[in-house]
Amino acid sequence: MRPLPSYALPLAILVAAGGASASLTGLLWEGLYALERPSLAAQAVGQDAVTLCIAVPLLIAASIAAARGSSRARLASAGLQAYFVYTYFQYAALTVFNGLFLLYVLTYSGALILLVTALTAIDLSSLKMFFPPLPFRRPLGIFLTAAGAALGMLWLGLIIPPLIAGTRPALLEDQVSQSLVVQAMDLGLLVPAAVLGGGALLRDRSIGYLLAAIVLTKIVTLGAAIIAMIIVMALRGIDVPLVQVVLFSLLDGLGIYFAAPFFLAMRPNLSGGGSDGKGPLQELGATR
């Protein structure tokens, strides 16, 4: 892993501040989502709560630890950056235009710069050196592949029949947007990352460890947000399909189950952890 540029930590703080400001406004200002359909407004409130209480503190903590050289934090922060890109691109593209539009754009743009920076600073040839042999590598690979496939089949099962019948998908009924932004991002980004990452992990490829870290972090944070959405919708008397409740609750639970040992198994520092006193980069003859 190459050192992060000096702008990484200040930019991460700005992204966290953008997310905190947007989510706090959504929680305190009832009029922000007044033009949304009730279902989407409830989901936005649930997402705001998780962003403010979980994602923002984790991004700050992980970014500080990453700046200090923690390899665990480098991978975890990449997953959190993906969460902010995913979340605030959706807010900018899916919600009715409101006074926070430019804040949404600046937040996901900053997170995207951080994510690209984090990925380009990771040396895949040395990444596996940060992990001892994982006894749960195959179960984790199977979980990621199955999670991606299940999510893909869920959305395709709701999209393909209306396409064939030439009708409007029911998924559009609870939103003002005329396109399926969430499903487009899931099918185009999250599903391929999970399936490819799981397959690569089963073959013990370095890219599998990288994608596993990002997807696991994404599953845990997004799963928490979806559960919060479901709770807010239930409190407001809005029905939620049982299959989605079960699927996303299961994904979040299994994500936490695998994420904790995965990150704990990783050697914590860029320069430490080798059995002979050498770090992973020194073992490969790399220089910082």
In total, how many domains does the chain have?
Answer: 1
**What tens digit of pLDDT does each residue of 102-148 get?**
999 999 999 999 999 999 998 888 888 888 888 899 999 999 999 99
Lowest-confidence range among 193-202, 226-235, 244-253, 265-274?
Answer: 265-274
Q: Which residues contact 204 (CB under 8 A, 6 or more apart)?
A: 128, 137
pLDDT for position 269: 64
Of 39, 35, 48, 111, whose CA–CA distance to 78 is shortest? Answer: 111
Asked whether residue 197 is domain-assigned, the answer is yes
Which pTM was predicted? 0.87
Asked whether residue 286 is domain-assigned, the answer is no
* Top mean-pLDDT range of 147-151, 222-226, 268-272: 147-151
Lowest-confidence range among 14-28, 112-126, 179-193, 232-246?
Answer: 232-246
Give the pLDDT band (50/70/90) at residue 283: very low
Distances in whole angstroms, Cα of residue 221 to Cα of each of 18, 77, 83, 122, 178: 17, 12, 7, 22, 27
Asked whether residue 280 is domain-assigned, the answer is no
Q: Check if the beta carbon of residue 91 is closer than 8 Å to that of residue 64.
A: no
Domain limits for position 147: 8-121+128-269
Asked whether residue 2 is domain-assigned, the answer is no
**What tens digit of pLDDT does each residue of 32-87 get?**
999 998 989 999 999 999 999 999 999 999 999 999 988 889 999 999 999 999 99
C-alpha of 118 from chain center: 14
Asked whether residue 89 is domain-assigned, the answer is yes
Asked whether residue 100 is domain-assigned, the answer is yes
